[in-house]
Amino acid sequence: MATVFKNIFDYEQAAASKLSQDAYEYLTGGADDKRTIKRNASVFSKIQLVPRRLVDVSKIDMKLSLFGNEYASPIILSPVGMQKLFHPDGAKATAKAADAGGHLMIASTVTNHSYATIAKGMAPKPWFQLYSTTQLEVTKQLIKTVEANGCEVLVLTVDVPVVGNREKHAKMLVENVEGRALSIENLAGKLGPEDHFHNPALTWEIIPWIKEQCKMKIILKGILSPKDASLCLKYDVDGIIVSNHGGRQLESDLSSLEALMDVIEITNTQIPVLLDGGIRRGTDVLKALALGATAVCIGRPYIYGLATDGAAGVFDVLNILDTELKRNMQLCGIRNLEEIDGSYLRFPKF
């Protein structure tokens, strides 16, 4: 009989037994002592849900509209690099599952299939996550290539001026990623030995420069400070992903959910604000949306599915979270995403 996975934690366990030690450490790794990773997830339980009664919840609409496209659910796939470490079909399998389930996918710069390969046949096209390399000319060509392949939204990751202190997988990172043992198709043969995917010299001036190169919308991923949220508005970016890179960069003891509250106060519905980090249950999704997130993204959870069963595993993980979210919306008396707001939340008084 086929194993039935009831939740994300079942998939996490299955992935642990399937993956090599190196791949597992890369997936679950985090900065320093992993306090930020833990806080990302544990903070959700500090907020309570207050359900409403006697609402007709026989029909639930979870559709998300974003930049003119419609998706089946507010659960988006965060960019994850090096996906061939987890399954031979890598991000191609992820794309197949996202497309089949109507979920938006964000394709990483540093995964092993090119954007063109991943996006082929998908509708709507995935967003593209950009690491601005130390070679602006290479970055420019990459931007032009993804736009020519139908990408409408560029997600610039801004929280990796340098790679965080991930002690458990530092060696593996150097051998596979820096050493380029697994090819990174978006950048294959383009960077010299002294060049790097991450550019520590990047400043806010990269935004007008990107706008000169393309017509794609620009979203910044990795915003935590309200001051940076203000700068996002000043530089006219189209959206924000509140994220601490899944606790892989700075050991900040600040969860993305806490940062979301500060950012939302500044953006005040002017631009979409997404959140990632620590989402493991439908109730987590609901709480983030009730705090003002337009949608949420997940990273490790869908990779647990990928490692366990390729595209079918990713599809199932997304289905599990969608099913949990739907049930929780019904239990709260909420019929669609527009109805989700702070009135369903309570902060413990003792």
Q: Which residue has the tokens 């599915």?
A: 305
Query: Shortest approach of ligand FMN to residue 278 CB, angstroms?
Result: 5
Q: Which of 199, 243, 267, 294 binds ligand FMN (CB under 6 A)?
A: 243
Q: Which stretch binds ligand FMN (CB under 6 A): 74-82, 89-97, 203-211, 329-337?
A: 74-82
- Which residue sits closest to ligand FMN, CB atoms considered? 299
Is 223 a residue that touches ligand FMN (CB under 6 A)?
no
Tokens linked to 85: 């470490």
Q: Pattern 152-191, binding to ligand FMN, x per CB under 6 A? A: -----x----------------------------------
CA 227/CA 334 separation, integer angstroms? 33
Is 282 a residue that touches ligand FMN (CB under 6 A)?
no
Q: Are 297 and 78 in contact (CB under 8 A)?
A: yes
CA 100/CA 314 separation, integer angstroms? 10
Choose the catalytic residue: 103, 113, 169, 245.
Answer: 245
Q: Are 90 and 314 in contact (CB under 8 A)?
A: no
Is 34 a residue that touches ligand FMN (CB under 6 A)?
no
Nearer to ligand FMN, 80 or 334 (CB): 80
φ/ψ of 159, rounded to 5, equals -110, 20
Residues 6+ apart with CB under 8 A from 58: none
φ/ψ of 145, rounded to 5, equals -65, -45
Nearer to ligand FMN, 87 or 300 (CB): 300
Query: Shortest approach of ligand FMN to residue 28 CB, angstroms?
Result: 7
Q: Would you tell me the crossing angle of helices 8-18 and 300-332 to the nearest 10 degrees? A: 170
The vertex-293 CA angle with 289 and 295, nearest 5°, equals 80
Order of strands across the sheet that contains 127-130: 75-77, 295-298, 273-276, 239-242, 217-223, 153-157, 127-130, 106-107
Q: Which of 40, 112, 132, 267 binds ligand FMN (CB under 6 A)?
A: 40
Q: Which of 126, 278, 282, 313 binds ligand FMN (CB under 6 A)?
A: 278
- Annotated catalytic, 196? no
In the region spanning residues 292 to 311, those forming contacts with ligand FMN, defined by CB under 6 A, are: 298-300
Nearer to ligand FMN, 74 or 278 (CB): 278
Q: Which of 129, 176, 255, 267 binds ligand FMN (CB under 6 A)?
A: 129
Is 142 a residue that touches ligand FMN (CB under 6 A)?
no
Q: Are 34 and 245 in contact (CB under 8 A)?
A: no
Q: Which residues are tagged catalytic?
A: 245
> Which stretches of the chain bind ligand FMN, using CB under 6 A?
26-27, 40, 78-81, 108, 110, 129, 157, 221, 243, 245-246, 248, 276-279, 298-300
